[in-house]
Structure 1
Amino acid sequence: MNKICFLIPYYNHPAKISKLCKILKQYNLPIILVDDGSSDNFNFETLDIEVLKHDKNKGKGAALKTGFNYAIKNDYTHAFQIDADMQHDLSKIDEFLEIYKNNKDIVICGYGKYDQAAPKARVYGRKITNFWAFINTFGGHFKDLMIGMRIYPLNEEVFKKTKSNRMEFDIEVLINYFKFDYKFAWVEVMINYESISHFKMLRDNILISKMHARCFFSLPKFLFKRLKNALV
């Protein structure tokens, strides 16, 4: 029996979270929010949803891992990640869920539709990340690795292999799903860059670079696994 929930990693987005939850409740699916050590003193009881809390800020990736582990322990088979900053076009939720109904074994990901307001550094940064993911998977094709609007088939082994705990988690987890032979579906999503983002240009780009380096140096192991499977 398949069971899906919304999963929101949250860190200091008090102006958006009530509106976001109101929209998500229209879909009659459970909502799990992980508060990653916020300092905004928001009263989550007003949301009437499941709330998990970190006592200090550990990073977006750590918040998602907490949510995934909780979902698995509570018999969910899938999690629909929705970022709390509301940067992504929520009208696309229906399209995600329609794909999910007929494809339970694939990862369903948003990819960015960029307008003139999109910061050039973010657009080119995504292209560079896609290039390195192509290298680090021996040819894996990813339309966008950085949009936090996705439906994951929950797999504990994938999450254990994903070492990242901050913004770079979004990238590494998809690389690892690919390495575990999952297929992907892609939904075009408009991005609103006027929303507040906690992406730290210097820190997070350094972490992303380290993550790509880690993936690169693990290529021999990945290649050996591929060759071994091909010979079976």
Structure 2
Amino acid sequence: MPFASATAAEAFHPCALIPIYNHEDTIAATVAALRAHGLPVVIVDDGSDDATRVVLDGLVSHDVQRIRLARNSGKGRAITAGLITARDAGYTHALQIDADGQHDVADVPRFLAEGRADTNALVCGQPIYDESVPRARLYGRYVTHLCVWLETLSFTLRDSMCGYRLYPLKATCAEIDRAPLPARMDFDTEVAVRLMWRGVPVRNLPTRVIYPENGLSHFHMLHDNLRISAMHTRLLLGMLPRAPGLLWRKRKRSAACAV
């Protein structure tokens, strides 16, 4: 069922959401940059080590909340916990951003402007890479792009894997309540596809993404690629009964744009 549109008067009250697992060297700078943009911050500690816990202890304040998961459960589980916490705290939107300095915090105002312009929309980062990007990771993304375009019967979502995005919390948490989302690296793609199925509009925002030298990545080439392959199989099968509705919605949107 498509998600109901928000009224023009609906409030826009965002926070930042950072999942973290053992990024003690970069988290303080990321939080400081977000606070400089006036955003309260929700940090989800996904079972980090003692060194990271000490750093996070020093960051907690009136506008910086930390949730700690008892053990490492995966990026998707951490983001899910953070989204629900943000909703329950009264925020309307959550800006997901990585803890490792990969994302350009200078683009925060651009994400927020897109969210204000359409409070129903999922605002997705569309990465602009420099030479630091691993080529295998770059080329592998195109397989997911093709799958997502099939799963949504649309070219609207330009990059479903970027972890820099602004979630509308009402629609996102309603989808979480409807059916659990993946616990690990397949979360970002599946939640975007399922929100599109739900009728949530997407705005793509080009943003610079780097792979920091000696950066810590938690992407496991074998296990995470297997999970992603299983996810695409599940989503492709889920698309089939939704295909008539997706095509009808696409045709209706095209007709509205032509008027």
Instruction: Give the alignment's TM-score, normalised by structure 1.
Output: 0.92
Query: Aligned partners of 1:77 and 1:121: how far apart in 2?
Result: 36
Shift in CA distance, 98/73, structure 1 to aligned 2, threshold 3 Å: same
User: Mind listing any 5+ residue stretches in structure 2 that lack a counterpart?
Assistant: 1-10, 251-259
Q: Is the 8 A contact 1:79 1:151 kept in 2?
A: yes
Q: What is residue 105 of structure 2 aligned with on the other side?
A: 90
Question: Does 2:183 correspond to 1:165?
Answer: yes
Equivalent of 2:143, from 119, 124, 128?
128
Deviation readout 1:24-80 (Å, 9 max, x if unpaired): 111222110000111243222211220001100110000010011111212211111
Q: What is residue 45 of structure 1 aligned with on the other side?
A: 57
Shift in CA distance, 227/134, structure 1 to aligned 2, threshold 3 Å: closer
Q: Is the 8 A contact 2:44 2:82 kept in 1?
A: yes
Q: How does 1:80-159 map to 2 (within 5 A)?
A: 80-154=95-169, 155=171, 156-159=173-176
Q: Is the 8 A contact 2:152 2:246 kept in 1?
A: no
Deviation readout 1:182-214 (Å, 9 max, x if unpaired): 111112122211232211111111111111011
User: Mind listing any 5+ residue stretches in structure 1 that lack a counterpart?
Assistant: none
Q: Is the 8 A contact 1:89 1:189 kept in 2?
A: yes
Q: What is residue 201 of structure 1 aligned with on the other side?
A: 221
Q: Which amino acid aligns with 1:88?
A: H
What is the number of residues matched between the two proteins? 230
Deviation larger for 180-189 or 158-167? 158-167
Query: Aligned partners of 1:4 and 1:198: how far apart in 2?
Result: 27
Shift in CA distance, 12/103, structure 1 to aligned 2, threshold 3 Å: same
Report the secondary structure of 2:49's partner residue. Answer: coil
Q: How does 1:189-228 map to 2 (within 5 A)?
A: 189-194=207-212, 195-223=215-243, 225-226=245-246
